[in-house]
Chains A and B, each alone.
Chain A
Amino acid sequence: MSGAMAERVFARKMEKAGFTGVWIGNKVPYGIEQAALYPLFTPEIIELMRRLIAPDRQASVAISVIAKAWNR
Chain B
Amino acid sequence: MHDVFIAGAGMTRIGRRSERLQDLMAEASHAALAMAGIDAPELIVVASMNPEEFVGDGNFASSVATHMGFAEVPAFRVETATSSGAAAFYAGFAQVAGGLHRRVLVVGGEKMTHLPTPRVSELIGRSIDPYERSYGATMPALAGLVTRALLGRHGVGLREISQVSVKNHAHALRNPYAHFQQAVTLEEVTESRIVADPLRLLHCCPISDGAAAVVVTAERAEVRVAGIGQGTDTLAVRHRGSLTSFLATRAAAHAAFAMAGFGPERIHFVELHDAFAPFELIALEDIGLVEPGKAGRATLDGDTALDGRLPVNPSGGLKARGHPLAATGVAQIVECVWQLTGRAEGRQVEGRVALTHSIGGLATNNWVTILEAS
Do A and B actually bind? no
